[in-house]
Structure 1
């Protein structure tokens, strides 16, 4: 067997795991040349020394630098104590600060990767608004520093990137005019945008998470800040959040027009009114893939501050047992949605509704795992929003309270319906997608 025919024994080298490709490259020089092209298509860089040095070696070899198409900049494990003063103080020789400083010096060198078209920036999933907590993972000041330099580097590229993913993006938008201008420029050339949003979480009192101001600023701003600049070119959009969103905090997508959108993925997005369904159907001329990951229908909502919720004020009524809370119901069920998709999304070729197991992997939102959602109805397909209760106001049934002397009691829930499952199977059959059976 001649060396050129050796490639015929490997039907698809690119599909193999990187560690296998690397081992094969050690066995044969010809395979080594091929495998290097595959290994360098996607490169991950961490702040630690050995990773920085490997990346620097790639940058300094123009042949290898030209092979890099996709880059992951992963600062999720950096756990130093950050303040801007410590970072800019060159006499500070703290090990973690030095590590970060040396890592960030590589960021402006992204322009030395002439074929870079896709980039991912990943932070730690834990975040806090206040910078006073010394035990906080990656405070807001740290994230702002990294984001500002990262955005400046991307904006300076001769050829703009086409895909941008921000993993564990804290729910705080930049405000510096230069940073906003650079980001707007980047967004204007994107074909794919993935926003995996992390929110401050109180492990012992999760009901307090939504009392923070930040999510109630970030999500209403998301359409104008992140989507409007990218609307003309965007073909893929992923919006995942570590907390439920859509109703409270509200995200109104009705004014967002994405004329070329082919793929839409939503994680922990809560449906509570028809306009949300109608917005998805408005993408019917182009949409070919739709992923709904842990996205409940809220059949009842009761909320203290309806200004922070997505429903119009006239949708609410007074309900006995809920004191002064605003109460509303939603009568649509998943079979209504699935049948609407079947009619209104004529080009749909891949659909997944269900829940990804990756939500429980290190308690972070799944990144680039849309196609791995376990398809099917689940225990949280229907939920309520019941303000004032924990560990989260998103629960299975509404809690009522007659008075201080009477015990609270729960309202009725919504079971997963046979009609839902039937409508889901009909949709999958229409688009030619096999329903996977999970043991």
Structure 2
């Protein structure tokens, strides 16, 4: 006897709708779910939570207006109660999208600073949000014809100041939430620890309270570039030891899930290796331990030393509760060629 779609259980129907929403290259996920909601009440009951589960706030007027409209709905059981994840984007990509068409990048956000920040500050009105996602552009620093023009503005460039303002606004909004945030994701975080931001109380409050941290690093600053020794600027500190001390160390006692990606390989050079090592910690990096961590995902983490795996698999002091280790695009290094200057 054939089984009709509407005779399936609610759980199966929800899974089918979720897959159907990702199936078309010509229509956005939002468009598909909106159309499914119009078919019948049974399908609408499953499509509606999927439609509002994640909300993306982009730096354009239509997206900002839609975010305010969502929050202004007076019904306590309206769409805003279904939102579980909020994505804050700092650029508008050229894509098929119901909100924004065209191309812009982060400096364009300055034209909408007041409106965008006002929308971000209303995050606490979404009472069921568990995950906040901040997505930056993959490239932060501009270069001139010589390839080193960025150094003249770094670390006080307008783009860096803008990114700092975005992070401060988002972290303050998280602090203002009525409940603790479970997960924080940041895409394309610049490989430069901005102490002006990390020294703020909102950073400390957020980073010490979350249970999941997922970060992808955009290595836009070349730490080995001779231009980094520019005499009028402070020396750029090695990123990974600073990142481990400032971001990972305060979060480590509560984390149950950690994801670290980078757009270039990291982990093989010693000063990158000690980012996740208790036995090779340098003077800049305290030994790390993750007493509650169950899931660890590393992307493009280069494996070159036995001690790197020892901390993951053999050391009960570092990862006593680890249940899942995912290595994505992680090369195994058999030889290293190091120049005399390095």
Classify the TM-score, shorter chain. Answer: 0.7 to 0.9
Q: Where does structure 2 lack aligned partners over 5 or more consecutive residues? A: 22-28, 93-102, 143-149, 230-234, 279-286
1:182-197 alignment to 2 at 5 Å?
182-197=202-217
Measured in 1, the distance between the counterparts of 2:151 and 2:336 equals: 34
Q: What's the TM-score once normalised by structure 1's chain length?
A: 0.58
SS at match of 1:124: coil
Structure 1 residue 139, shift from structure 2 partner: 2.2
Structure 1 residue 211, shift from structure 2 partner: 7.1
C-alpha spacing 1:128/1:109, structure 2 compared with 1 (3 Å): same
Residue of 218, 236, 244 corresponding to 2:265: 244
SS at match of 2:79: helix
- Residue 97 of structure 2 is matched in structure 1 by none
Residue of 86, 89, 114 corresponding to 1:71: 86
C-alpha spacing 1:162/1:79, structure 2 compared with 1 (3 Å): same
SS at match of 2:56: strand
Deviations 1:257-298 (A, max 9, x none): 111211111112122222211111136642222211222222
Residue of 288, 301, 313 corresponding to 1:269: 301
Structure 1 residue 124, shift from structure 2 partner: 0.3
Measured in 2, the distance between the counterparts of 1:266 and 1:154 equals: 26
Measured in 1, the distance between the counterparts of 2:91 and 2:65 equals: 18
CA contact (8 A) 1:131 1:140 kept: no
* Residue 28 (1) aligns with residue 40 (2): yes
Residue of 157, 170, 176 corresponding to 1:156: 176
Measured in 2, the distance between the counterparts of 1:209 and 1:295 equals: 24
Q: Could you say which structure has the larger radius of gyration?
A: 1
CA contact (8 A) 2:216 2:262 kept: yes
Q: How many residues align?
A: 284
Structure 1 stretch displaced more, 110-119 or 225-234: 225-234
SS at match of 2:8: helix
Q: Where does structure 1 lack aligned partners over 5 or more consecutive residues? A: 83-94, 305-323, 326-386, 388-439
Measured in 1, the distance between the counterparts of 2:164 and 2:158 equals: 10
Deviations 1:43-80 (A, max 9, x none): 11211121111111111124222211111111133746
Deviations 1:106-131 (A, max 9, x none): 11100000111101000000122838
- Residue 124 of structure 2 is matched in structure 1 by 111
Measured in 2, the distance between the counterparts of 1:79 and 1:173 equals: 26
Residue of 230, 233, 236 corresponding to 2:254: 233
CA contact (8 A) 1:216 1:250 kept: no
SS at match of 2:169: helix
C-alpha spacing 1:233/1:201, structure 2 compared with 1 (3 Å): closer
SS at match of 2:244: helix
SS at match of 2:86: strand
Deviations 1:309-334 (A, max 9, x none): xxxxxxxxxxxxxxx57xxxxxxxxx
CA contact (8 A) 1:260 1:286 kept: yes
Measured in 1, the distance between the counterparts of 2:79 and 2:306 equals: 51
* Residue 294 (1) aligns with residue 307 (2): no
SS at match of 1:106: helix
C-alpha spacing 1:247/1:118, structure 2 compared with 1 (3 Å): same
- Residue 91 of structure 1 is matched in structure 2 by none
Measured in 1, the distance between the counterparts of 2:319 and 2:138 equals: 34
Structure 1 stretch displaced more, 163-172 or 212-221: 212-221
Deviations 1:124-176 (A, max 9, x none): 0012283867xxx9821221111111111112222121100000011222323
- Residue 308 of structure 1 is matched in structure 2 by none
1:257-406 alignment to 2 at 5 Å?
257-281=289-313, 282=315, 285-304=320-339, 324=340
Structure 1 stretch displaced more, 30-39 or 73-82: 73-82
SS at match of 1:292: strand
Structure 1 residue 35, shift from structure 2 partner: 2.0
* Residue 123 (1) aligns with residue 124 (2): no
Measured in 1, the distance between the counterparts of 2:264 and 2:122 equals: 35
C-alpha spacing 1:131/1:211, structure 2 compared with 1 (3 Å): closer
Please report the RMSD computed on the Cα atoms of aligned residues, expressed in angstroms. Answer: 3.1
- Residue 232 of structure 2 is matched in structure 1 by none
C-alpha spacing 1:211/1:199, structure 2 compared with 1 (3 Å): farther
Measured in 1, the distance between the counterparts of 2:199 and 2:129 equals: 21
CA contact (8 A) 2:59 2:91 kept: no
